[in-house]
Structure 1
């Protein structure tokens, strides 16, 4: 069994933006972990890998992976994270079908709130997609993974402390089917939090329609549609998609960043509000009701008390010279 630092690797989990991820455990404590190992010899890619570990170590939210350790084994760099045991959203949709709207709201609201934490720290994810959202089987918790393409907003061109450029002009970084138009144009300077809001909208579209907003046989086909066409209404593929979620998805996929929701927090708030509205009929249906006889008895008692009160008010000698008028509305439904 291969060992890196205090972690013994058990098996391959996934391929990330800057390396491979393995299931592992701490050799002394026995606790599970996910270990990401850098693969390659490009100094810029290595700098990105180290940047990912440093940035994640200072971000804290239940829907962000927690970094446990960092190290080097000869020429290989690695870092350990908490292990999120479960499938990603794309795998779950493929296996289970389109999720219930309330669950869609719950999962993506958590991811959007995690992104808001990132954005406040000047971190842009740049690869928000269903494949990068893990859902923990035991708890249902959603975790946004793979920050290998992150950009530090304050650095503009994403430089290391030594001044090395980590993003080159004209580089297109991201996944075409879930990438914002400004990313597809290859300008790192123009990519900000709105690009992640677009990614949230594309993920929402996927969870409503069971497919990405734009698809094609080649990356060029997808880029052409992304830059020149509007996405189809998700209800074309799923007529049951709630109108509020359809509107939010399509607004978030606007070509112009300023036409999208103003922040990841606003996106999350819209989802929370929709989830509350969708749950209201179910709460009413589940509310306990009084037995028919008891309800009728209480209604009769209430009407009797109301009649007595009215009689006292209208009795001769009560009040001034002009008898008051009274209006009583009783709803016993």
Structure 2
């Protein structure tokens, strides 16, 4: 009798599987302390109050485009926490601790995906490193911010995140809107890369509603996840192909559109990306404009995002790790520390009339 060949129809293009620890296993092995949990809760509440207009401080999410060097990240955090303490009565500073980077085609996808920066993609190790670093940042007294890209990632690190973003490439994604509806922290949706805000407004609307979707439980089992909806979502303007979108008239128009959908007219300006043409030297002027709009009575303007690092600019990657320049971004170009400190102090001084 002729034996027919077995025809494979699944996993044809899969090279390997590597099992991850369950979220419960990782959270047990690297737990958060009661003090860390209390800090995260208070930080989230502070951001909630800013979004809803109950706290007049400017929310500033500032820090490296991505964390690739832990020691440089630690040094940045040590500098930032001192500045945050000085400015805390007018500016509420949250540190960017970004571990996942969306790529237009290919490239380094962040510390969680490739923690050794060598293409081996040791994700289990990346998750451990991310969780440990978040704890360090919280322990020195800084609220944490990140962009959540993979819908599985939050189960491993979200309990240590105070604010998060959904990026321009994923704002239109149903998967990410559903994920956002179940997240426990305040969250900003960025406008699409073409500059349109319609997708972001629709995303905020969707994320505020109850959703049911496929996800994983703490034990790692595939599950049907049903959410309550996230009431703490807001709009982030990052510009688009047609240019910047943070002018006073634009912000007022977007606030009206949010209100028309029954949403909170809360708007943050991203001082990088297409608002700056990826020139970090323009970031201080964009921050200044956001502050001026607040002083002019625009209550929809709640904050700004600044990509900042120890040193100005960016460096090419990949390249040999020993040749990387300390404190320089390997993803998008960043504003250097001295200019970052200067523009935040200037914003603080300019905000004085609001607190008199």
TM-score (norm 1): 0.29
More helix, by proportion: 1
TM-score (norm 2): 0.28
